[in-house]
């Protein structure tokens, strides 16, 4: 659009403006105004404008011309193009008519804006960012005007290089997974893995993850990622390492890898050295094994696998047992193999993270297992040992070895499951083991089995006769391998006797031989499994029989034995009889008499005696009686031990066995006369349910036939303490404790007080006296209190529980405030501090007297409240005492410390006025508890104090008594006023209380 204006011409009716272009084309404009506008002028043109004026008749000549410069034309046909290699954007357009320069505007989607002024219609844009979408417009301009913006030209720049590239190797599949952060402007990505030898593997993905397959084992790879879109490929990403081992194997300098990348910031190409990664190592080859039978291990060798830093050897048996070893060399000893198993041996290469697939495996049979359940049987008579064991299919033959303690070996071998060893020497102990064998490999020996051969036959047998006891003492030389000896005496006429003795003893007494009988003696050795052949035999004839049977009586507690016999009939002369008693401890007693009895003195308790009577003193060759056996009374039991039984309220009593005793009587006598006893054949006895708190004395007597021992020495013990009695509880609310007290019990060394809460929590105290304090009570809780006694060994039962509550304390602080007197009553406001206890309520109690009269008492109280204050109305002229109590479910507290005081006085009674208005005296009677009186003038709006005194009268001047009132006061306040004043010689005025 163009326009022109001019000054008006005189007489002109119309004007004609003619715009003439450079190519002489015209644009006329006719108007009756002084300006003209064209809308169809051409862009980029210069127009010369002439204006003429005219009327109905004439037209003027043109005036001075002017030039209209039109704006350049809008640039057309904008084309944006991309040079991927140089990361450069080009923009060109058709030249605009009338344009002297161009204004280029560049926008991106993030709000980026750039302007450039150029003189040509072809522009290079080198500093644009990767991965962006740009919109570009151009405005044509000259020194006068600029065109409208051109239509936009859009372009997508080259993709940005991927960042944060990382790679991980799946050791099992040997697949490398490459990841990266997605870059702007990218449609798809290409991951490339390169080796030093120039081999490459790639994968493509539209996302940030890609897997590269078919990688060679034991190779070094570098990794890079390229981003691409429909226009360009990005430069490579910066190389990333795939760390699958401690490090890549060493390579020569010229084998290291480099990755190119382009820096958009610097506009130059750089080279960066990349890290490398190693694929799964290659499997080793040429596996060889060598079994070590003695240690049940195998030596394994192999050829090195490419890329391997170390190796793992694995052996898996048919029973699933697995063992392994690791090595950085190409050999390893696989230990801990189980016997009798077929193992599959394999070797894996490892680089610190991955391991190869296994090598070609090799099967190997381990050494046989030791034979199981080995047993041996000795045939005593033949001296043969038969050894047996369980079948073992893994073995070809077996070796049996029996070794004596001296190292002598006896062996046999077989292909079966049993083997016999012959000609065993007597009296030996053998350690028997069986070894399995297959080829040149032997198993470990079986568990050792201890077996003994038959004991050797006793030799050097001798004997001597015991004339008093009518027995024979047999001795012999020690034999090998003996646990016990047996002596057999076979007498003529069927008389037999025997004795046995442990293997460490070589003498034995054969008792109870018949008189006048010939015996054949032999000794046999035994070890529990076998008996030796009998020793060489010998004969012994016992002394002849003579005297008839005898009798003997033990004199209990008299240390003597009375022996009686029948004298020999038809004896010549007066023979002397000798009584001989041999004790079980081999001591001997004798007495003699020509009559038919005598006393053997010095007999000891707890011994068995064998008594004979001989007619002469020539021992066995004389005539003698058969032996008579008798026992003395038992000795008093010794070492009485008492163990208290707290649970049964009793005791367990034990003592050492008293020889010859058949029964025992245990007696326990209490301090209060209670007697308990028990009879037993054992050397212990238990008592239960004894009376509590008593000391019992215990004694034990032993009995044999008609004799009892003296009682043992008394041993005392104390029974379980009695349950404490007289329990009382005083709860101390201040410190949350309870004082327990009880009556004393004998024999008690310690007491335990207990408080059990409703939720089961237990609190305790301990004392050696008759009281203790339990701390830590919870305010407001109820407790079952009880006490238990202890004597240091046993505890009594708990006393009957006593229920008591941890009631709250009264408030610690209390205050009283008096309100002003109204109608001769006064409010007392009492406040107090809260008690730290759950669910507490309070009760205010006030007692007092009215007007100091002891006969006029009052008691006031609040209701139970959770508030910390309460108000009560008290009469005037009263004294009071105020307390507050607290309570909850556990109980009521004691009253708090009392606060005492008085209320304000009652109005002064009988007020009189005497005198005149100019000079008068007002007087009154005393008011109880008043300490001050005040006279007020009430003639004004506010009453005025005219007199204050402690006396009962006051002098006034210039006041009308009709305008007076009198009050009494003390520290609690001021009374209601007395307005009824009686005037002397004046008319009486009645006042109404208000």
pLDDT, residue 468, reads 66
Q: Given CA atoms 57, 62, 67, 73 in this order, what sign does their dihedral have?
A: positive
* C-alpha torsion angle, residues 300, 304, 306, 309 (rounded to 10): 70
Which of the four pLDDT bands, split at 50, 70 and 90, describes residue 867?
very high
CA angle in degrees (0–180, nearest 5) for 396-400-404: 165
Strand partners, 952: none
The backbone torsions φ and ψ at residue 962, rounded to the nearest 5 degrees and listed phi first, read -65, -15
Q: Given CA atoms 119, 125, 127, 132 in this order, what sign does their dihedral have?
A: positive
| Rounded CA separation 308/355 (Å) | 8
| Rounded CA separation 979/965 (Å) | 5
For the segment 207-229, the average pLDDT, to the nearest whole number, is 85
CA angle in degrees (0–180, nearest 5) for 587-592-593: 155
pLDDT, residue 656, reads 93
pLDDT, residue 434, reads 93
For the segment 769-779, the average pLDDT, to the nearest whole number, is 90
Are 279 and 216 contacting, i.e. CB atoms less than 8 angstroms apart? yes
For 806, the token pair is: 């941890």
For the segment 813-822, the average pLDDT, to the nearest whole number, is 93
Which of the four pLDDT bands, split at 50, 70 and 90, describes residue 238?
low
* C-alpha torsion angle, residues 359, 363, 367, 371 (rounded to 10): 130
pLDDT, residue 231, reads 81
pLDDT surpassing 80 at residue 516: no
Tokens 């039962």, located at residue: 797
Which of the four pLDDT bands, split at 50, 70 and 90, describes residue 514?
confident
Tokens 């694929």, located at residue: 279
pLDDT, residue 257, reads 31
Nearest-CA neighbor of 697 among 727, 718, 720, 682? 718
Three-class secondary structure of residue 963 per DSSP: helix
For the segment 295-320, the average pLDDT, to the nearest whole number, is 88
Tokens 């302007």, located at residue: 115
| Rounded CA separation 118/631 (Å) | 147
| Rounded CA separation 37/798 (Å) | 125
One DSSP character per residue, 801-864 reads PEEEE-PPPPPS-EEEEEPPPBTTEEEEEEEEPPPSSTT-EEEEEEEEEETTEEEEEEEEE---
Which of the four pLDDT bands, split at 50, 70 and 90, describes residue 75?
very high
pLDDT surpassing 70 at residue 119: yes
Q: Which of 306-310, 711-715, 877-881 has the lowest mean pLDDT?
A: 306-310
Nearest-CA neighbor of 836 among 869, 806, 803, 805? 806
The pLDDT tens digits for 599-616 are 999 999 999 999 888 765
Mean of the per-residue pLDDT values for the chain?
A: 85
pLDDT surpassing 80 at residue 250: no
Neighbours of 290 (CB within 10 A): 11
The backbone torsions φ and ψ at residue 792, rounded to the nearest 5 degrees and listed phi first, read 95, -20
Which of the four pLDDT bands, split at 50, 70 and 90, describes residue 548?
low
The enclosing H or E element of 420 equals strand 418-421
CA angle in degrees (0–180, nearest 5) for 257-262-268: 110
In the sheet that 175-181 helps form, which strands lie side by side, from edge to edge? 163-170, 175-181, 209-212
pLDDT, residue 765, reads 93
Are 287 and 359 contacting, i.e. CB atoms less than 8 angstroms apart? yes
pLDDT surpassing 60 at residue 269: no
Contacts of 711 (CB under 8 A, 6+ apart): 636, 667, 699, 700, 701
Q: Which of 53-57, 663-667, 744-748: highest mean pLDDT?
A: 663-667
pLDDT, residue 627, reads 83
Contacts of 922 (CB under 8 A, 6+ apart): 911, 912, 913, 935, 947, 953, 954, 956, 961, 964, 966, 981
For 370, the token pair is: 């030791």
Instruction: Go through the chain and tell me how many residues it has.
Output: 994
Structural domains of the chain in order of their starting residue, each with its CATH number = 2-69 (2.60.40.10), 81-156 (2.60.40.10), 163-278 (2.60.40.10), 285-365 (2.60.40.10), 375-452 (2.60.40.10), 459-541 (2.60.40.10), 551-631 (2.60.40.10), 642-718 (2.60.40.10), 814-902 (2.60.40.10), 911-983 (2.60.40.10)
Q: Tell me the pTM.
A: 0.38
pLDDT, residue 900, reads 94
| Rounded CA separation 492/488 (Å) | 13
pLDDT surpassing 60 at residue 761: yes
For the segment 487-512, the average pLDDT, to the nearest whole number, is 89
pLDDT, residue 243, reads 36
Neighbours of 847 (CB within 10 A): 16
| Rounded CA separation 788/742 (Å) | 10
pLDDT surpassing 50 at residue 55: yes
Widest pairwise Cα distance in the chain: 225
For 96, the token pair is: 């605009």
pLDDT surpassing 50 at residue 251: no
Of all residues in the chain, the percent with pLDDT exceeding 70 is 91
The pLDDT tens digits for 459-473 are 999 888 776 677 888
Neighbours of 307 (CB within 10 A): 24
The pLDDT tens digits for 120-167 are 989 988 778 888 888 999 999 988 888 889 999 988 888 888 888 888
pLDDT surpassing 70 at residue 405: yes
The pLDDT tens digits for 559-571 are 999 999 877 655 4
pLDDT surpassing 50 at residue 993: no
Are 534 and 456 contacting, i.e. CB atoms less than 8 angstroms apart? no
């Amino acid at each position: 659009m163009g326009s022109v204006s001019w000054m008006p011409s005189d007489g002109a009716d119309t004007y004609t403006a003619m715009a003439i272009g450079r190519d002489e084309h015209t644009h006329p404009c006719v108007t009756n105004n002084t300006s003209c506008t064209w809308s169809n002028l051409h862009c980029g043109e210069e127009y010369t404008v002439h204006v003429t004026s005219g009327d109905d008749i004439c037209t003027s000549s043109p005036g001075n011309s002017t030039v209209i410069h039109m704006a350049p034309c809008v640039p057309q046909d904008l084309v944006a193009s991309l040079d991927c290699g140089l990361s450069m954007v080009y923009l060109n357009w058709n030249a605009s008519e009338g344009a002297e320069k161009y204004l280029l505007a560049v926008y991106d989607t993030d709000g980026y804006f750039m302007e450039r002024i150029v003189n040509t219609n072809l522009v290079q844009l080198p500093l644009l960012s990767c991965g962006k979408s740009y919109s570009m417009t151009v405005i044509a301009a000259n020194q006068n005007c600029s065109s409208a913006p051109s239509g936009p030209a859009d372009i997508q720049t080259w993709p940005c290089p991927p960042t944060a590239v990382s790679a991980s190797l799946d050791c099992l599949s040997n697949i490398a997974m490459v990841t990266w952060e997605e870059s702007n402007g990218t449609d798809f990505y290409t991951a490339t893995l390169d080796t030093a030898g120039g081999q490459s593997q790639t994968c493509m993905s539209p996302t940030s993850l890609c897997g590269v397959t078919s990688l060679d084992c034991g190779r070094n790879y570098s990794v890079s990622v390229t981003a691409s879109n429909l226009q360009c490929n990005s430069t490579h990403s910066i190389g990333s390492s795939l760390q699958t081992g401690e490090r890549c194997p060493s390579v020569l300098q010229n084998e290291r890898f480099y990755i190119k990348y382009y820096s958009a910031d610097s506009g130059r190409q750089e080279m960066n050295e990349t890290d490398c990664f190693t694929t799964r190592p290659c499997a080793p080859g040429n596996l060889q094994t060598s079994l070590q039978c003695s240690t049940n291990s195998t030596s394994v060798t192999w050829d090195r696998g490419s890329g391997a830093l170390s190796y793992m050897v694995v052996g898996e048996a048919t029973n699933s047992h697995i063992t392994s070893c690791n090595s950085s060399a190409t050999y390893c000893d696989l230990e801990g193999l189980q016997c009798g198993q077929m193992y599959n041996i394999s070797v894996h290469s490892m680089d610190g993270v991955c391991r190869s697939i296994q090598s070609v495996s090799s099967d190997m049979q381990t050494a046989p297992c030791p034979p199981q359940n080995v047993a041996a049987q000795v045939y005593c008579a033949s001296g043969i040992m038969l050894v047996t064991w369980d079948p073992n299919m893994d073995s070809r033959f077996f070796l049996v070895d029996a070794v004596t303690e001296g190292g002598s070996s006896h062996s046999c071998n077989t292909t079966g499951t049993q083997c016999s060893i012959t000609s065993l020497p007597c009296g030996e102990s053998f350690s028997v083991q069986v070894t399995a064998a297959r080829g040149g490999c032997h198993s470990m020996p079986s568990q050792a089995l201890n077996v003994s051969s038959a004991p050797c036959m006793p030799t050097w047998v001798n004997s001597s006769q015991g004339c008093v006891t009518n027995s024979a003492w047999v001795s012999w030389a020690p034999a090998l391998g003996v646990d016990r000896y047996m002596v057999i005496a076979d007498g003529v006429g069927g008389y037999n006797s025997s004795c046995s003795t442990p293997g460490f003893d070589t003498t034995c007494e054969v008792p109870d031989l018949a008189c006048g009988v010939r015996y054949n003696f032999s000794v046999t050795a035994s070890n529990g499994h076998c008996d030796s052949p009998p020793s060489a035999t010998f004969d012994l004839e016992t002394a002849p029989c003579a005297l008839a049977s005898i009798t003997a009586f033990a004199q209990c507690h008299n240390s003597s034995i009375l022996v009686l016999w029948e004298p020999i009939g038809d004896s010549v002369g007066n023979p002397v009889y000798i009584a001989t008693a041999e004790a079980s401890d081999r001591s001997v007693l004798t007495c003699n008499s020509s009559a038919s009895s005598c006393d053997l003195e010095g007999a000891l308790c707890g011994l068995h005696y064998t008594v004979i009577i001989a007619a002469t003193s020539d021992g066995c060759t004389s005539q003698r009686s058969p032996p008579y056996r008798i026992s003395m009374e038992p000795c008093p039991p010794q070492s009485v031990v008492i163990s208290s039984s707290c649970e049964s309220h009793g005791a367990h009593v034990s003592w050492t066995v008293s020889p010859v005793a058949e029964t025992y009587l245990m007696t326990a006598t209490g301090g209060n006369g209670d007697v308990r006893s028990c009879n037993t054949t054992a050397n212990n006895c238990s008592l239960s349910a004894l009376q509590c708190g008593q000391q019992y004395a215990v004694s034990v007597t032993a009995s044999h036939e008609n004799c009892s021992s003296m009682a043992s020495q008394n041993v005392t013990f104390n029974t379980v303490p009695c349950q404490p009695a007289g329990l009382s509880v005083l709860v101390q609310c201040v410190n949350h404790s309870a004082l327990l007290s009880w009556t004393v019990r004998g024999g008690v060394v310690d007491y335990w007080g207990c408080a059990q809460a409703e939720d089961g929590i237990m609190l305790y105290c301990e004392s050696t006296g008759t009281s203790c304090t339990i701390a830590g009570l919870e305010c407001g809780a109820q407790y079952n209190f009880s006490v238990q006694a202890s004597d240091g060994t046993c505890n009594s039962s708990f006393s009957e529980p006593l229920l008591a509550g941890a009631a709250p304390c009264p408030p610690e602080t209390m205050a009283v405030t008096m309100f002003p007197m109204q109608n001769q009553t006064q409010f007392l406001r009492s406040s107090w501090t809260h008690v730290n206890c759950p669910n507490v309520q309070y009760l205010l109690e006030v007692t007092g007297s009215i007007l100091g009269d002891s006969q006029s008492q009052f008691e006031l109280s609040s209701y139970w409240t959770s508030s910390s204050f309460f108000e009560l109305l008290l009469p005037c002229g009263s004294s009071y005492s105020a307390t507050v109590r607290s309570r909850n479910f556990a109980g009521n507290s004691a009253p708090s410390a009392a606060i005492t005081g008085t209320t304000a006085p009652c109005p002064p009674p009988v007020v009189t006025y005497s005198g005149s208005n100019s000079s008068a005296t007002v007087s009154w009677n005393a008011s109880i508890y008043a300490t001050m009186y005040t006279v007020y003038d009430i003639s004004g709006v506010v009453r005025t104090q005219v007199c204050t005194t402690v006396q009962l009268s006051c002098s006034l001047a210039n006041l009308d008594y009709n305008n007076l009132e009198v009050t009494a006061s003390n520290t609690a306040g001021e009374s209601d006023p007395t307005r009824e004043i009686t005037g002397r010689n004046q008319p009486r005025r009645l006042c109404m209380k208000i």
